[in-house]
Amino acid sequence: ETGVTQSPTHLIKTRGQQVTLRCSSQSGHNTVSWYQQALGQGPQFIFQYYREEENGRGNFPPRFSGLQFPNYSSELNVNALELDDSALYLCASSATSGGPPRYEQYFGPGTRLTVT
């Protein structure tokens, strides 16, 4: 069983730039969620994708957007980067349908974004 993978591992961007982070979900999982973990904090829910549609959103501005592809992989895009966007971005996958529900989400290793 292949786990959740994310790329890149680390990224340094300048304020005002745009960034795209990528996630491949665990085999058999059709739902992808993105979280932002600032230093010393717990992860904060950004949004979730199911069947290529946004399926719930946390308290993040529209410059945070995403995509889910037919193979269930996903992208997180952040426009007009701000210094406060510096964080670890975590992708998590889960199986929403097909078989007994399991409820837990499985996380990738994260992408460390630094905005200067």
The span from the CA of 36 to the CA of 58, in Å, is 10
8 binds another protein (CB under 8 A): no
58 binds another protein (CB under 8 A): yes
Question: For residue 103, what are the CA distances in angstroms to 39, 60, 63?
Answer: 27, 24, 29
31 binds another protein (CB under 8 A): yes
Among residues 7, 27, 41, 116, the one that binds another protein under rule CB under 8 A: 41
Among residues 8, 16, 28, 56, the one that binds another protein under rule CB under 8 A: 56
Give the SS3 label for residue 45. strand
33 binds another protein (CB under 8 A): yes
Residue 23 contacts residue 91 (beta carbons within 8 Å): yes
CB nearer to another protein: pick between 66 and 108:
108
